[in-house]
Amino acid sequence: MAKVLVAYASLTGNTEEIAELIVEGIRQAGGEAVLKSVTDCNADEIKAYEGVLLGAYTWGDGELPDEFLDFYEEMDELDLTACKAAAFGSGDTGYEIYCGAVNQIEEKLRERGAEIVQESLKIEYGPNAAEKETCRSFGRQFIETCAAVS
Ligand code: FMN
């Protein structure tokens, strides 16, 4: 079964909760997931996995959080053509650019050659009861796609 890295940045815990639920979904579907804060890993680590799910909250005017920037720049050194990927994160629809960081992460993954296998997951603040299941399902769907092609 495919092994997936789930790496995230979260200031107040919303994106962290989403990441944990995604990991739950991956494990429910029999997949293997490693969950890490983006500050505790180097982008180079992605190469050890068949799939990667990257998540962040959005900061400023639709920007990536500062703690994601090192990882984001390290990604420029990577060839991710063998990697399945998708992005997720939390935002607030009251801002002009909703979940802009999620869009930037997805774009960077695509630019480095990763195959974006599913639409990004955007949740406003923390997940409510229905959205918790959406997060788990996002993880299940991802691992099923990885397993189907690996
Ligand atoms: N959310 C957006 O969707 N777009 C933004 O441009 C945006 N800018 C923000 C700027 C500031 C100063 C703050 C405090 C929040 C902003 N947010 C924006 C909302 C956060 O992304 C949102 O509260 C998110 O749930 C925080 O996630 P976390 O708990 O993982 O840190």
Per-residue pLDDT reduced to its tens digit, 60-98: 999 999 999 999 999 999 999 999 999 999 999 999 999
**Ligand 1 centroid to 68 CA: how many Å?**
14
Q: Whose CA is nearest to atom 31 of ligand 1?
A: 11
Helix axes 129-149, 14-28, angle to 10 degrees: 50
> What is the number of the ligand 1 atom nearest to the C-alpha of 63?
6
Which run of H or of E encompasses 3?
A: strand 3-9
Domain 3-149 fold: Rossmann fold (3.40.50)
> What is the number of the ligand 1 atom nearest to the C-alpha of 98?
3
Q: Whose CA is nearest to atom 20 of ligand 1?
A: 91
Indicate the length of the chain as a whole number: 150
Note whether ipTM > 0.90 here: yes
Say what percent of the chain tops pLDDT 90: 95
What's CA 149's distance to the chain center, in Å?
20
Task: Give CA–CA dist 57/68, Å, rounded.
Answer: 10
Per-domain residue ranges of the chain: 3-149
Helix (H, G, I), strand (E, B) or coil at 89: strand
Helix (H, G, I), strand (E, B) or coil at 101: helix
The pLDDT of residue 1 is: 72
Looking at every residue in the chain, the average pLDDT score rounds to: 96
Residue 108 has pLDDT above 80, yes or no: yes
